[in-house]
Amino acid sequence: MSQQPVHLSALDAYRFARESGSLAGCLELSDLPRLADVLASPAGNVSYQLSGYMGEREQARLRLRVTGTLQLLCQRCLGAVAESIAIDSRLELVPADSAPTQEELEDDSLDVLPVTGALDVLGLVEDEILLALPTVPRHVTCDLPVTDGADTLPHPFAALVALKRRE
Ligand SMILES: [Zn+2]
């Protein structure tokens, strides 16, 4: 696991937006631990670009773009299936304890990101990737794994029944 710069784990997001900050780089998939469950292989990386800007009424906002190709686990054959992602999210920063306004709820082009204190950029990239992935990844066409002999195995309870009979 590579050492990430400190600003990726603790970014002053409001200041970043005010100052029109921008960050870009490459993240190893192995540095995003919550993706491990859905990946067939932790090899590879994603590129991200984060920029800060202010809305029309001085709302602090972020734009996050993430691109890359992930090897997901096909839910049918359990082989690797390549999934390309191209995320482009706009997020409005709100204090973590405030309820979103009606306007924010109605604006589909914008997500609300509750932030109090420092923002974990790595965690945000991870969240956005998880949201963008298919819930049931699978090849367009593939065969089920070969289950030679599986059908002829005795039912797990059969052994129990046999034990009972012996009593
Ligand atoms: Zn498959």
143 CA distance to ligand 1 middle (Å): 6
148 CA distance to ligand 1 middle (Å): 18
> Residues 109-157: pLDDT tens digits?
788 898 988 999 999 999 999 999 999 999 999 987 666 555 545 555 5
Section 101-116 average pLDDT: 79
79 CA distance to ligand 1 middle (Å): 5
Task: Return the H-helix or E-strand segment holding 89.
Answer: strand 80-94
Annotated domain spans of the chain: 13-166
The whole-model pTM stands at: 0.77
70 CA distance to ligand 1 middle (Å): 15
30 CA distance to ligand 1 middle (Å): 23
3-class SS of residue 104: helix
Distance, CA of 29 to CA of 125 (rounded, Å): 11
81 CA distance to ligand 1 middle (Å): 7
119 CA distance to ligand 1 middle (Å): 37
3-class SS of residue 100: coil
78 CA distance to ligand 1 middle (Å): 6
Of 113, 121, 84, residue with least CA distance to 96: 113
Residues 6+ apart with CB under 8 A from 118: 9, 10, 11, 12, 13
18 CA distance to ligand 1 middle (Å): 46
Contact yes or no for 40/137 (Cβ under 8 A) = no
87 CA distance to ligand 1 middle (Å): 24
> Residues 50-97: pLDDT tens digits?
999 999 999 999 999 999 999 999 999 989 999 999 999 999 999 877
26 CA distance to ligand 1 middle (Å): 28
